[in-house]
Structure 1
Amino acid sequence: MKTMIEHSNTKKWDQYYEFGQRIFFKRNSIIYEQGTIGNGFYYIHKGLIKIVTAKTKGGEKILSLEPSGQLFGEQAMDQEPYFSTAIAVDDCVLYYFSKEQFNEIITRDTEMLNLFMDSTIGKIRILADEILAKGLTAQQKIALTLIKICTTCNTDKIFLTQQELANYTGLTRISVYKAFKQWKEAEIIDVVNRMVIVKQPDALKKQTVNL
């Protein structure tokens, strides 16, 4: 069962599936790379996408995690190079809409333009939340991130490594390791084959307050 937000977005976008190109990507597949030029955007029908950018000293920084029901790659609509790379965290089903298809649809159906703008506004709100989260402790940030992924993706299994979580939260891998060690001992989470399993969501939520 999808979350209320995901279900609502899917019901709105499914009327446009016939105009897009349905594409399947296996876990860890690259959808597009930083520096390449695109000509459209993607809608996530199923799966989780991580948006990353290369660091000047090597490695990557996770900018965002996009669950089903969301858009990504919108910056390519101006046909400028991508400033980030998109990677499938798990097996994904996407719909690709070219700039030409988008323009053709919105000339006769403004609802798609409204959905596109809603997605942009939603990402601005998420950015504001992340700015506010800078005042949280390391454990609060990690717990909040895990809860957000579980809620938006409606799953208790997260295919992210400790290093990827560190990159996403802006913390060190040691901070993530310490939190995981404590939560594993309390049987709040488990880690199996580089996958985080949230065993007690309510207990994890409590880690976000009064630590």
Structure 2
Amino acid sequence: MPNAPEIELKGIFDPRAFLRRIDSGRTIERYAKNQKIFGQGDIASSVYFIQKGKVKITVLSELGKEAVVGIFTAGQFFGEGCLEGAELRTSTSQAMEECLITEIAKSAMLTVLAREPKFSAFFIGHLLSRNSRIEDDLIDQLFNSSERRLARLLLLLADFGKEGNAAPVDISLSQETLAEMIGTTRSRVSFFMNRFRKKGLIDYNGKIQVHRSLLDAVLREKPGIDEED
């Protein structure tokens, strides 16, 4: 069993170190790029924690239309719907790159949440943060232009605003995926991406490199991302 400093360093809870303490009901798997983790309609019996990589969550309508509803990165949980009684998965999860993921059985997760207050507080914080993100996404869809929604999405994916992040950050996502996530067409995303690049807000050559200047543009009272060229 690891000692306390390994689990909590300078007051920061380390979920990776903590999850290593779970003796049963826990497995660690590596997933290749584009490999499915679980599918819509599968039995929901476990929660997942991303140690490394990015995971895409999609839903498929009865008419066969697929939509991206979330992208999760290292340090985040997904698949927790089983904890509130969901018997089947309502979405599909897929590795966007090589991933290292911890899978925790529902019974083990419920036991740990009941017995370990620090982990419980960490997990509740995760859920509250996600709920806030969903509310922000809804407001974004209702009131902002598709160009501004794209800018906000790029900033979220690059984790700008966390720990004073100011250095350019690479994102590997297709324009089709970005279009699905903000509710517009690929051609519009291409147009906006070219505009952002011309203004020096991003670099785009296979990977998207997000600059601090994009955040500054969004935060300005009259951002320079909505006016015509």
Query: Normalising to structure 1: TM-score of the pair?
Result: 0.84
Query: Relative contact order (C-alpha < 8 Å, sep 6+): which is higher?
Result: 1
Q: CA deviation at 1:116?
A: 2.5
> What's 1:197 paired with?
209
Matches within 5 A, 1:35-54: 35-54=41-60
1:137 pairs, out of 142, 145, 158, with 145
Contact 1:24/1:93, CA 8 A, preserved across alignment: yes
Q: If each structure's helix is expressed as a fraction of its own residues, which one has the higher value?
A: 1
Q: CA deviation at 1:9?
A: 7.1
Q: Could you report, residue by residue, the CA deviation over 1:79-118 in whole angstroms, capped at 9, with x for unpaired residues?
A: 5110001111222111111012123323432333332222
Q: CA deviation at 1:42?
A: 0.5
Distance 2:11 2:201 in 1: 30
Query: Structure 1 stretches of 5 or more lacking a match?
Result: 1-6
Identity of aligned residues (%): 21
1:16 pairs, out of 16, 19, 22, with 19
Partner amino acid for 1:47?
A: G
Partner amino acid for 2:169?
A: D
Partner amino acid for 1:34?
A: Q
> What's 1:168 paired with?
181
Partner amino acid for 2:50?
A: I
**Secondary structure in structure 2 of the residue aligned to 1:113:** helix
Q: Could you report, residue by residue, the CA deviation over 1:33-79 in whole angstroms, capped at 9, with x for unpaired residues?
A: 10101211011112211111013443421111112111100113335
Partner amino acid for 1:26?
A: A
Q: Could you report, residue by residue, the CA deviation over 1:96-150 in whole angstroms, capped at 9, with x for unpaired residues?
A: 1101212332343233333222222221111111122121122111011001111
2:99 pairs, out of 76, 86, 92, with 92
Distance 1:45 1:87 in 2: 15
> What's 1:4 paired with?
none
Matches within 5 A, 1:107-146: 107-134=114-141, 135-146=143-154
Contact 2:47/2:109, CA 8 A, preserved across alignment: no
Query: Structure 2 stretches of 5 or more lacking a match?
Result: 1-9
Partner amino acid for 2:150?
A: I
Distance 1:74 1:128 in 2: 18
Moved more, 151-160 or 69-78: 151-160
Distance 1:185 1:148 in 2: 21
Q: Could you report, residue by residue, the CA deviation over 1:163-183 in whole angstroms, capped at 9, with x for unpaired residues?
A: 100111112222211101212
Q: CA deviation at 1:190?
A: 3.2
Contact 1:43/1:95, CA 8 A, preserved across alignment: yes
**Secondary structure in structure 1 of the residue aligned to 2:64:** coil
Which 4+ stretches in 1 moved above 6 angstroms? 7-10, 152-155
C-alpha RMSD of the superposition: 2.4
Contact 1:17/1:95, CA 8 A, preserved across alignment: no
1:61 pairs, out of 32, 43, 67, with 67
Contact 1:39/1:98, CA 8 A, preserved across alignment: yes
Moved more, 110-119 or 20-29: 110-119
**Secondary structure in structure 1 of the residue aligned to 2:176:** helix
How many residue pairs get aligned? The number is 202
